[in-house]
Amino acid sequence: MAIVLFDVHYRENFFPFTATKAIAAMRFGILTIQERWEMLLNDSAFIQTENYLQNFYPKFSDKEQIWIDASIIPTPQLLQQIQTLQPNEGIADELGLIAGKALIVNGILDFKNYNNYFKKVHVSNNIERLKNPQQIFQQNYSFIKDDFAIVTKNKISQTIDTSNQVICPENIFIEAGAHVQHTILNASTGPIYIGKNALIMEGSIIRGPFAMCENAVVKMGAKIYGATTLGKNVVAGGEIKNAIISDNSNKAHDGYLGDSIVGEWCNIGAGTSNSNIKNTAGPVNLWNKASRCFEDVGMKCGVMMGDYTRVAINSSINTGSFFGVCCNVFGEGLLPKMIQSFSWGKEKYTFEKAIQHIDNWKKLKGSFLTEEEKIILKFIFDKSLKN
């Protein structure tokens, strides 16, 4: 049996993040969507996404598959329904296929015509889906709480070092190899998860819910509020609140980041801060790539920053900002609210220079840019020339 997480037709709503990855590869809470389903169903999960991204993900064999909409938020009731599906049975609601069990030989599900694959489709109501990126930081409290229960089940935390000041230690879990000393850890407002080989330097103040993944680092004197997620190999410092910083990115210095999502391989320069609420306390408008217009996203929203984007020191990021993929962001005063992919200030990156700069940043963390990644980036670059 293979689990296959498929992208939905509104995947562009999640841009800039799904420009470079499938929905199932997004990380929030503690886990990626793919990791979450694997742990819940105790099996390997595969990904079906857009053609230009598909070669980045492993192929799955031609055997019976459980197809699951990657945007679905799992619940115990839905898990039970999925696990009891019979061959050629599906679950759907008014928005389309939720999950289904079938053998699709070519490995490509036409989810718009899902009735062609299933003899019986059960109707299920009250299914929660992610429909836009702001939901991720708005609901990250719940995602961290739920993932904490999944990840720590039947496991024993490292002993908390006595040099730390701790509130509600029963809500704190420290993985093997992590180092946490002379830190204030307040888990009274939500769980705190510290991943394998992570490091929290002395003088930091952390308030749950909070998750930092494997090899992440929190710099000295950082102030981090819930609900915040630091991905693998992230370096974080300054003041952070209700934000997701994705794998291999840096916000290492003073400055404020709040109600925001930062993609992978990004860097935020020293002294840079974002606004997350308007001076009028009115609704914040955020650019939506799919609808090609600004949309009301609520009272608070900082920045949605695509993969490989870097922001210069002492920059002022406007409320409700949308930065595309691979941008070199700098400028006086408040920065523009919408910056297209492959922008160099107000100019356009050349593709060769953009690739070289991404590779330079990857080398700083012992990695390199693969040929598959270059193909994806060239596709995005070519599309950006037409916008």
Query: Residue 92 corresponds to which tokens in the numbers above?
Result: 């759907």
173/158 Cα distance (integer angstroms): 7
Residue 280 CB contacts under 8 Å (≥ 6 apart), including other chains: none
Which residue type sits at 370? Answer: T
pLDDT at 62: 64
Residue 169 near residue 188, CB atoms below 8 Å: no
pLDDT tens readout for residues 332-373: 999 999 999 999 999 999 999 999 999 999 999 999 999 999
267/270 Cα distance (integer angstroms): 10
> Quick one: fold of 135-386?
UDP N-Acetylglucosamine Acyltransferase; domain 1 (2.160.10)
Which residue type sits at 316? Answer: S
pLDDT tens readout for residues 37-78: 999 999 889 999 999 999 899 887 667 788 999 999 999 989
Length of the chain: 387
Tell me the CA distances in angstroms from 225 to 172, 220, 242, 260, one per residue in order: 15, 15, 7, 13
CATH of domain 2-131: 3.90.550
Question: Residue 59, Cβ neighbours under 10 Å: how many?
Answer: 9
Tens-binned pLDDT, residue by residue, of the chain (387 aa): 688 999 988 899 999 999 999 999 999 999 999 999 999 999 889 999 999 999 899 887 667 788 999 999 999 989 999 998 888 898 998 888 899 988 776 667 776 777 777 888 888 888 899 999 999 999 999 999 999 999 999 999 999 999 999 999 999 999 999 999 999 999 999 999 999 999 999 999 999 999 999 999 999 999 999 899 999 999 999 999 999 999 999 999 999 999 999 999 999 999 999 999 999 999 999 999 888 899 999 999 999 999 999 999 999 999 999 999 999 999 999 999 999 999 999 999 999 999 999 999 999 999 999 999 999 999 999 988 776
pTM value is: 0.94
281/190 Cα distance (integer angstroms): 27
What percentage of the chain's residues is helix, strand, coil (to nearest 5)?
20, 30, 50
DSSP 8-state symbol, 369: -
282 by Cβ neighbours in 10 Å (0-12 / 13-18 / 19+) ranks as exposed
Residue 367 CB contacts under 8 Å (≥ 6 apart), including other chains: 248
Question: Where along the chain do its domains lie?
Answer: 2-131, 135-386
Return phi, psi of residue 361, to 5°.
Answer: -65, -35
61/224 Cα distance (integer angstroms): 43
Query: Residue 333 corresponds to which tokens in the numbers above?
Result: 């005063």
Partners of 101 in beta bridges: 66, 89
